Amino acid sequence: MNRLNNVVIKLWLTIIFIVTTVLILLSAALITFIQSYFTQETENSLLEDAKQISQLVADSDNKDIAIEHSRKLIEGPVGLIIMPDKDKAQSNKNQIKKQMYEIIQTDKDYQQVFDDGKQKSEHINITVNGKQRTYVLIGYPTQHIYGQSDSKYSGVFIYQDLKSIEETNNAITVIILIIAVIFLAITTVFAFFLSSRITEPLRQLQTQALKVSQGEYTQTPPVNSKDEIGELSRAFNTMSSEIRQHIEALSSSKNIRDSLINSMVEGVLGFNDKREVILSNEMARDIIHSMDEYSSEKLDQQNERTLRNKTTQFEEYEINTRYFVIIMSYIEQIQPDGRSGIVAIIRDMTNEHNLDQMKKDFIANVSHELRTPISLLQGYTESIVDGIVTEPEEIKESLSIVLDETNRLNRLVNELLNVARMDAEGLTVEKELHSIDE
């Protein structure tokens, strides 16, 4: 079986996927928030410094000294540019400040600091020593530093490299990723343990279900919890017990049925709608195997009539000097799949047939036996009546013959009465002990 089809692996991978997704989204949100927070804090700090410098220069009587002190206080981690007019840029050997002057003079947004007195903050990219660097540049308006000017306001510009913020963000990112990996590893172990605990009862149910499919109902999975899996285990145990009881009842019924069918004097056959034998006892099998071609064809025709008419059909068969009667009855449902069929009862009528023949022969013999004494009685009686026999000795001899024939008729009549009594009451035989010597 493919390992990916294992419930434990599926549940474990699902938990890991969910936790990993949550950690990634949470880490991305934290990193983005921290970067935005530190950048915003830096901008707010620079803006506050710009306000203080603007206020300091505006309130100072000596502008140059105030500007010089501001540069000494600010410059270092950050850079400071104070421009009395937008068109007057100081010459500077510092490459960074030089590029900042160019950006301030060429960027229309920063021109609003001089013209409209608006503060401005942007992230700009400049090249330092051949590398691209990102700076935050804050522009803040202030009063004219040196009197009249072409611009309405002077500008205080403070800039700072974001490299330190990026380094801080990178460190925080590494810390967050390390914590996320640790949590992921812990979650992996926990998820595997949890999935194993959850699926262990399911594996026991699977094993028991396979045993039940193989006919073993004695073992039952233990119920160790009260949750849905525990309820499933209890339901499975109940189902297994009921299946065992039903199978035992069916087996008992089948054994009784087979015993009854096999012990029957008659033959029993069961056919489905495709004329396939699905039930038979030994007598029926012997009779079917002993049928000739004519009898087999006759049996098929009776089978077809029974299925077509759905009524009971009777037929007599003579097979190898034996006589049988086959009674076929239509059954609406003879198989578990709902298919119809036929049940046939085969009765051996050989003895009955022979008995009827014996009765016919007996009646014929008795009729013949009766005709002889009646003819004699009639002849001797007519001889005496007609006066053919006149001598006393001859008359006596004739009457003696008449008496003998009368006794013979009496015996024949008694035999007929005995036969009639045997048919009505049955033949009883009384057994008695006798001495062999006598």
- Whose CA is closest to 38, among 165, 207, 174? 165
Return the pLDDT at 299. 84
Q: To 10 degrees, the CA torsion angle through 255, 261, 264, 266?
A: -170
Tell me the percentage of the chain whose pLDDT exceeds 90. Answer: 1
- Whose CA is closest to 87, among 54, 63, 117, 111? 111
Residues 388-411: what's their mean pLDDT? 80
Most trustworthy range by pLDDT among 31-40, 147-156, 219-228: 31-40
Is pLDDT at 317 greater than 80 in this prediction?
A: yes
Distances (CA, A) of 68 to 55, 60, 99, 355: 14, 12, 21, 150
Contacts of 249 (CB under 8 A, 6+ apart): none
CATH of 266-348, one of 3.40.190.10, 3.30.450.20, 3.40.50.720, 1.25.40.340: 3.30.450.20
Q: How far apart are CA 55 and CA 148, in angstroms?
A: 19
Is the CATH number of domain 26-170 3.30.450.20? yes
Identical topology for domains 26-170 and 354-425: no
Residues 406-416: what's their mean pLDDT? 82
Query: What pLDDT digit, counting tens, does each position of 129-171 carry?
Result: 777 778 888 887 877 666 555 667 777 888 777 777 777 777 8
Report the sign of the C-alpha dihedral through residues 36, 41, 44, 46, in that order: negative
Is pLDDT at 90 greater than 70 in this prediction?
A: no
Residues 312-339: what's their mean pLDDT? 82
Is pLDDT at 1 greater than 50 in this prediction?
A: no
Average of per-residue pLDDT values in the chain: 77
- Residue spans of the domains in the chain: they are 26-170, 217-263, 266-348, 354-425
Residues 226-233: what's their mean pLDDT? 71
Residue with tokens 């540049």: 137
Return the pLDDT at 76. 65
Is pLDDT at 203 greater than 50 in this prediction?
A: yes
Q: How far apart are CA 108 and CA 152, in angstroms?
A: 15
Residues 60-77: what's their mean pLDDT? 69
Return the pLDDT at 315. 86
- Cα 117 to chain centroid distance, Å, stands at 76
Backbone angles phi, psi at 46, to 5 degrees: -65, -40
Query: What pLDDT digit, counting tens, does each position of 253-295 carry?
Result: 777 877 777 777 788 888 887 777 877 888 888 888 888 888 8
Backbone angles phi, psi at 250, to 5 degrees: -65, -40
Return the pLDDT at 377. 76
Is the CATH number of domain 354-425 3.60.10.10? no
Q: How confident is the model at residue 225 (pLDDT cuts 50, 70, 90)?
A: low
Most trustworthy range by pLDDT among 37-41, 61-65, 118-122, 342-346: 342-346
Residue 253 one-letter amino acid: S
